[in-house]
Amino acid sequence: MFYRGLTPGEQQHLADTFAFELGKCSTPMIRRRGLQMILNVDEQLADYVAGQLGLPVPTPNADRVEPPPSPASSPRRGTFPLDGRTVAVLVDDTTSATELEQARAALEQERVRPLLVAARGGEIAGVPVDRTFATMRSVEFDGALLLAGSVDPQVDLLIAELWRHGKAIAGVDVAGQAEGVCRHCSRPGHRVSHRRDRAGDLHRDLRLRLAPLRRTGGVRDRR
């Protein structure tokens, strides 16, 4: 009932989660047992997870119940407040005070907590840095806004991890280098804005990019 009530994107997210968690398990017997339980829920789900694990689909050992889907099980069918969400605002020396001020104001207006992330500690445009590229971790953030014009391998890793977890990502072309900063955006479903009008429409753009968080509670359909 729960699985069938999810949207296709949510079902894929759940299937990937099963494959990831069982894939981290090094005991073959536990993998097979987990796959057996999944098969008792849904055959297609078990077939996908088995393919990811490189295991054969087991033989059913219980009668599968076929309840009707429950729409109530899908988070995407509702809306959720943004209060308390944390967004990484990535900046560097090319970030202007105006852009940073507008970005923080837009986030705080939605009651989102912005954390300023830069290559080094201290201040950027008069604002204290909360995290450095070396100390930031993707698990801290529900989304990211790129105001940095330069590319750093640690930023590259952060964006890749946020994408893998279906989190909201927005990019602003500060130094005419959006293609470099956002090279991961070429992947299907990875939405990042490339803006050359700088701070003018930043507030509106941020509201659009925060919409997936409000609609899905943090789980974004990547398909």
Domain 3-76 bears CATH identifier 2.40.50.140: no
Which of 42, 65, 46 shows the shortest CA–CA distance to 56?
Answer: 46
Split at pLDDT 50, 70, 90, the class of 75 is low
- How far apart, in Å, are the Cα atoms of 45 and each of 63, 67, 155, 194? 16, 16, 34, 37
Strand runs labelled E in 27-74: none
The per-residue pLDDT for range 150-166, each reduced to its tens digit, is: 678 888 888 889 888 87
The per-residue pLDDT for range 77-108, each reduced to its tens digit, is: 556 677 888 999 998 888 888 888 888 888 88
Strand runs labelled E in the chain: 86-90, 113-118, 123-124, 127-128, 131-132, 143-146, 168-171
pLDDT of residue 96: 84
Tell which CATH classification among 3.30.70.20, 3.50.50.60, 3.40.640.10, 3.40.50.880 matches the domain 86-216: 3.40.50.880
Which residues on adjacent β-strands are paired with residue 88?
115, 144
pTM recorded for the entire structure: 0.58
Q: Where are the domains of the chain?
A: 3-76, 86-216
Token pair of 94 as six digits: 């090319």
3-state secondary structure of 28: helix
Can you list the alpha helix ranges (DSSP code H) found in 40-148?
A: 43-53, 97-109
